[in-house]
């Protein structure tokens, strides 16, 4: 069972689609990047832009596995959903899904994100405010 911690609806746009008329698959990762941004800022209350710009902390992806099970077309409204699978010391494993309005899964992925210093791109411990906010969100 997939119980999302955070969810956003989004319209599939002309600019998301390829000459086959469906979402160009790298664009799913751009959409999920936006979802993580919104989750951190709005869901967790830790400003994403401030994290990157002021605190110089990066959230690069170190591993992902993705399954594309159905196409999404221009004009579709999809829901992007996020759950936390594992909260490590320096890394975070997310489960993400893109589903159609009727709940049909279009794409699902598991993504391991590492927190890094943007000075040297080395892994750092997840900042305390972010860790606490994630732990609290998981308890609910």
Contacts to a second copy by CB under 8 A: 11, 13-15, 17-22, 24-27, 29-30, 33-34, 37-38, 47-50, 52-53, 58, 60-69, 71, 73-75, 118, 121
Which token pair is 69?
């099970």
Give dist(CA 66, CA 128) in Å, integer: 29
Q: Is 61 or 93 the residue whose CB approaches a second copy more closely?
A: 61
| C-alpha–C-alpha distance, residues 55 and 118, integer Å | 9
Q: In the bound complex, what is the minimum distance in angstroms from residue 55's beta carbon to a second copy? A: 12
Q: How far is the CB of 40 from a second copy (least distance, A)?
A: 11
Q: How would you classify the pairing of strands 105-114 and 91-100?
A: antiparallel
């Amino acid at each position: 069972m997939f119980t999302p911690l955070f969810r956003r609806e989004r319209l599939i746009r002309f600019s998301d689609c390829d000459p086959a008329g469906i979402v160009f698959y790298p664009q799913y990762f751009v959409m999920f990047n936006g979802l993580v941004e919104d989750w951190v800022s709005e869901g967790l209350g830790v400003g994403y832009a401030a994290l990157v710009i002021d605190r110089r902390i990066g959230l690069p992806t170190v591993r992902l596995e993705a399954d594309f099970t159905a196409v999404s077309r221009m004009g579709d409204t999809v829901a992007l959903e996020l759950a936390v699978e594992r909260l490590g010391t320096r890394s975070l494993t997310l489960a993400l899904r893109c589903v159609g309005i009727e709940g049909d899964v279009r794409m699902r992925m598991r993504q391991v994100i590492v927190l890094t210093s943007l000075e040297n791109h080395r892994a750092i411990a997840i900042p305390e405010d972010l860790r606490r906010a994630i732990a609290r969100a998981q308890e609910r």
